């Protein structure tokens, strides 16, 4: 039996694949066990004093210390504050850059391409240091500015791709009925582009949240700085591994939560639900254009809440409205 792309493996190949999978799994398990055993062994520090193993109970009693959790919460709050402000600014920068990238005038479009590619290729940490040293903006705004510019450039490209994927006739029909280019962009194109690219945008915001840890180099009091730099100084170097584990677990929990939100949004978007008010308004405008016989608007994108009027020969209506 064959497939379009490859031959279906026979019994011998399947047995070999199972055997290699078992051997590979056993080697990985043995490696993990070896790492745990190695970390559990006592060791000598730089002063020649024997220290307990990483999993010794004396290294983990700090988990019952409320002062440690207050410090972790203070660092997490600072991280979320930087990420929240940078995310809002990144969305604004992304909208502006996507408008410039799709402008009709080459005098606007070509410089926008150069700006987007420049910021996408610039390391985030280098931009943070540049803003801090040149503009003396402080640690917080240096981190926010770099994150907003870099992620805004990425989001702008995502929005540009979303707009480019729309039927061209929708924008042309909007102009034909008297809408301004700005009204067409914000009433018809952007609602649908945001809906299509929302999973990608949320995934990029997860990247933004992780990149806030780069502000550790600037001295900003975020989670990584408080957990791994100030924590061992405050609670003792014995707890370095424990604090590393706590910081890692907090980052993992926050990022997995955002990733789960991205998967839910992607599923709802793929199933055609959750279009939102702006998408329904866009569908209403497009359906009106279709009723007027405008070219390219006769097959609008499917949007939740849009249904045909069964009693009249007019265009489809949204949310039960009749025309």
Tens digits of residue pLDDT in 98-157: 989 888 888 988 999 999 999 998 999 999 999 999 998 889 999 999 999 999 999 999
Token pair of 323, please? 């025309």
User: pLDDT over 70 for what percent of the chain?
Assistant: 81
- Identify the DSSP state of 192: H
Rounded to an integer, what distance in angstroms lies between the CA atom of residue 120 and that of residue 279?
29
Tell me, what's the pLDDT at 28?
A: 96
Rounded to an integer, what distance in angstroms lies between the CA atom of residue 33 and that of residue 146?
41
Rounded to an integer, what distance in angstroms lies between the CA atom of residue 157 and that of residue 154?
5
Residue 143 Cα distances to 41, 130, 216, angstroms = 40, 10, 10
Contact 142, 175 (CB under 8 A): no
How many angstroms from the chain centroid is the CA of residue 222?
19
Rounded to an integer, what distance in angstroms lies between the CA atom of residue 249 and that of residue 251?
6
Tell me, what's the pLDDT at 187?
A: 82
> Please, which residues have CB within 8 angstroms of residue 308's CB and are 6 or more apart in sequence?
316, 317
Among residues 201, 234, 256, 213, the alpha carbon closest in space to that of 78 is found at 213
Among residues 225, 109, 213, 209, the alpha carbon closest in space to that of 156 is found at 109
How many angstroms from the chain centroid is the CA of residue 314?
41
Q: Per CATH, the architecture of 76-227 is what? A: Orthogonal Bundle (1.10)
Flag whether the pTM goes above 0.75: no
Proportion of the chain in helix, strand, coil states, percent, rounded to 5? 75, 5, 25
Tell me, what's the pLDDT at 306?
A: 45
Rounded to an integer, what distance in angstroms lies between the CA atom of residue 191 and that of residue 194?
5
- What residue spans define the domains of the chain? 76-227
Tell me, what's the pLDDT at 256?
A: 87
Rounded to an integer, what distance in angstroms lies between the CA atom of residue 231 and that of residue 126?
26
Tell me, what's the pLDDT at 287?
A: 56
Chain-wide mean pLDDT for the chain? 81
Contact 82, 147 (CB under 8 A): yes
Residue 264: count of CB within 10 angstroms of its CB: 13
Token pair of 162, please? 């979303």
Stretches where the chain sits below pLDDT 50 are 1, 274-275, 292-323
Tell me, what's the pLDDT at 162?
A: 86
């Amino acid at each position: 039996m064959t497939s379009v792309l490859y031959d279906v493996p026979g019994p011998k190949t399947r047995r070999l694949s199972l055997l290699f999978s078992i051997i590979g799994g056993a080697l990985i398990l043995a490696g993990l066990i070896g790492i745990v055993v190695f970390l559990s062994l006592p060791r000598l520090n730089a002063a020649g004093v024997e220290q307990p193993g990483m999993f010794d109970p004396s290294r983990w009693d700090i988990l019952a210390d409320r002062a440690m959790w207050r410090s972790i919460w203070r660092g997490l709050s600072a991280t979320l504050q930087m990420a929240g402000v940078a995310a809002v600014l990144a969305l604004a920068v992304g909208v502006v850059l996507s408008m410039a990238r799709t402008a009709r005038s080459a005098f606007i479009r070509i410089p926008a391409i150069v700006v987007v590619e420049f910021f996408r290729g610039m390391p985030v940490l280098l931009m943070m240091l540049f803003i801090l040293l040149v503009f003396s903006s402080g640690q917080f705004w240096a981190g926010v500015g770099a994150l907003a510019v870099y992620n805004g450039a990425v989001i702008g490209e995502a929005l540009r791709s979303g707009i480019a994927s729309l039927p061209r006739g929708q924008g042309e029909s909007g102009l034909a009925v008297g809408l301004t280019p700005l009204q067409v962009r914000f009433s018809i194109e952007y609602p649908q582009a945001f809906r299509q690219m929302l999973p990608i945008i949320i995934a990029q915001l997860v990247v933004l949240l992780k990149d806030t840890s780069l502000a550790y180099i600037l001295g900003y009091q975020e989670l990584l700085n408080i957990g791994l730099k100030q924590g061992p100084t405050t609670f003792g170097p014995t707890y370095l591994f424990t604090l590393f584990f706590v910081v890692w677990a907090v980052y993992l929990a926050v990022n997995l939560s955002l990733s789960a939100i991205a998967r839910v949004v992607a599923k709802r978007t793929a199933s055609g639900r959750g279009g939102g008010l702006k998408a329904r308004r866009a569908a209403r405008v497009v359906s009106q254009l279709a009723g007027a016989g405008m070219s390219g608007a006769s097959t609008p994108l499917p949007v939740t809440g849009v249904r045909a009027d069964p009693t009249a020969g007019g265009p489809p209506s949204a949310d039960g409205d009749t025309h």
